[in-house]
Every structure is written in structure tokens, then in C-alpha cells.
Amino acid sequence: MFLRSMISLVALCAVPLTSAQACTECDKANAEMHQPSGHHTKMQATSKKATSAATRAYEAAMATMHKNMAQPLSGNADVDFARQMIPHHQAAVDMAKIQLQYGSNERLKKFNEWIIFAQEMEIAFMKHWLVRRDNGVEVQGAKDYFGKAMETMHHGMMIDYTGDADVDYVRGMIPHHQGAVDMAGIWMTHGTDPDLKPLSNEIFNSQTYEIAWMQRWLARHAQK
């Protein structure tokens, strides 16, 4: 079901993802370069440059994510993981499309073509899983497994926008990816459904490597 690792072998030098070796080799080849009901609030830009079309689009994508991740709690770590990860993934897709529209860095565009493909595939899987496993019930006083991780992500994404669509994308996406990694790690502790294990492992491993790639990109390209 999950093709990310296989496809990355074919597109190794086009998209440096899914393994530490892939990231390293592509960098060499291309040296150019939530309490769900309350944790998420509208992000505010703090930079005076935060009036660009890209900035407004990023802010709108994040506001939508925060709203849509405010899912009712079932108290089931499997169900709540999928309910919240779907809008989380969708935000990554939306942000990637914004960078494709407003950004200029070609390496980052290739990276985002991969993000869109991979995360849309995972969204489809989770939606199908929910149809079969989610009874739609909200449980009063249910444990919030992922709220703390999402609160940390929210604060991390409150970046000082520069108006540079490429740099602002990466600065926001690093903590966004870290939120997904943290959620996957929590699922590994509390989740039980075997069908979600490959997905959580893929999210944890792939997005960890993608964070490392973005950190290296940012070190080369961020405005000093």
C-alpha cells in the first residue's frame, strides 16, 4: 500500500527522500543548490513583510488545518490518529502547492511534488480505513492522545514570515512535519490496529528524513 520507499529508489536524484542515504546522495548530486476542541487557533504572522500573497496563502492553509484538526475525541488512539492526521496531511499538501505556485527554488519544487504525491496517497488510505473502523462516536472525557504534540507543533509554526515563499515554507514545514512524527510515535505506544502500523512507521521514518533534508536546505538558503 505504501510506495514511498520503492518510488524513491527510482527517483533518487529527483527527490532526495525516504532514507538518510537518499538525502545524502541527492545533496551531493545537487549541491546547488489541539486538545482537538481547543488547541488550534489561527496563526498570526509577526513580520512586517507578512503581506505577500504567499504569506496570506500559508496563513489560510494553517487556519484551515487548525480548524479541521479539532476533531471529536473517540478515546481510541487508532481512530483519533486517523481523524487528526488526515487534515494534518492535507495542510502539508496545501502548503506544498503554495510553494509550487509562489516559490522559485527548483529543488524545493521537486521536493514538494513528492510531498503532494505521497501524502495524498496516505490521506486516501486513512479515509478508507476510517470508513471501516470509525463509528463516529464522540466520547465524553476521552483521553486526548495527540493534543500536546499538536500544541507544540502549533507554537513551532508561528514563524516570523519573511515574505520569501521558499524560506517561509520550509520554516513552517519543519515543525509541521515534526508534529506528524510525534503523532506517529505516540501511535506506536498507544495504537493497536495492525493496518495502521505500516502507515505510522512510514510517517515516522520518511518525515524524519524529510525534516533533515529541509534543515540542510534552510541552512543553505535562509536569509541571514
Task: For the chain, count helices (H), then strands (E).
Answer: 9, 0
Amino acid at 12: L
Q: What integer pLDDT is reported at residue 92 of this predicted model?
A: 98
Stretch 74-87: mean pLDDT: 97
Give a yes or no: residue 171 inside a domain. yes
User: What is the rounded CA–CA span in Å between residue 95 and residue 213?
Assistant: 17
The answer to the question of residue 37 being in a domain is no
Judge contact between 30 and 11, C-beta under 8 A: no
**22 against 134, higher pLDDT:** 134
**Is the pLDDT confidence value at 208 over 80?**
yes
Residue 10 lies in a domain: no
Give the per-residue pLDDT at 146. 97
- For 88-126, write each residue's pLDDT tens digit: 999 999 999 999 999 999 999 999 999 999 999 999 999
**Nearest-angstrom CA–CA distance, 164 and 65:** 22
Helices (H), 48-140: 53-68, 77-102, 106-133
Which domain covers residue 185, as residue numbers? 47-134+143-221
The reply to whether 7 falls in a domain is no
The total number of structural domains that make up the chain: 1
Q: Is residue 16 part of a domain?
A: no
Question: Quick one: DSSP state of residue 73?
Answer: P
Which of 9-18, 55-64, 139-148, 169-178 is predicted least confidently?
9-18
Instruction: Report the CATH number at residue 95.
Output: 1.20.1260.10
CB atoms within 10 A of CB 130: 16
Please indicate, yes or no, if residue 18 is contained in any of the structural domains.
no
What's the one-letter identity of residue 167? Answer: V
pLDDT tens digits, one per residue of 14-47: 444 443 343 443 444 344 333 343 344 334 444 4
- Looking at the domain assignment, is residue 3 inside a domain? no
d(C-alpha 39, C-alpha 65), whole Å: 12
